[in-house]
Amino acid sequence: MIIVYGIPNCDTVKKARAWLTGHGVAHEFHDFKKQGVPGEKLPAWGKAVGWDKLLNRQGTTWRKLDAAAQASAADAAGAQALMLANPSVIKRPVVEWANRITVGFDAKSWAEQL
């Protein structure tokens, strides 16, 4: 089963979910706001895509963090702690496919994945 992790009001998550539904792809949605960030999954996500890709340093939440909080994400442990405390700093959506993990939405690569 494909699992899409994210925040429901995120435009990219909306596009990704609509794309999956439009292509008849069964999937589950895990809402970071309601269900929290699955802390046990973060190490695997970081290993699969890299912490730099998983941590969204371009978003509003990141820009609102103070310098000390941003600096705490300098290594994997610090980035993981920051993501657990501030789910909105995780680039979205994180998708667990049958054989890999992706971050973000790219219709072309998703079509190839299927």
Q: Hey, which residues are catalytic here? A: 10
Query: What is the distance between the alpha carbons of residues 34 and 90, in angstroms, rounded to a whole number?
Result: 15
Q: How many CA atoms lie within 13 A of 5 on its CB side?
A: 22
Tokens (6 digits) for 63: 């820009």
Indicate left, alpha or beta for 26 from its phi (over 0: left) and psi (-120 to 50: alpha).
beta
Q: What are phi and psi of 90, to 5 degrees?
A: -85, 130
Query: What is the distance between the alpha carbons of residues 111 and 30, in angstroms, rounded to a whole number?
Result: 21
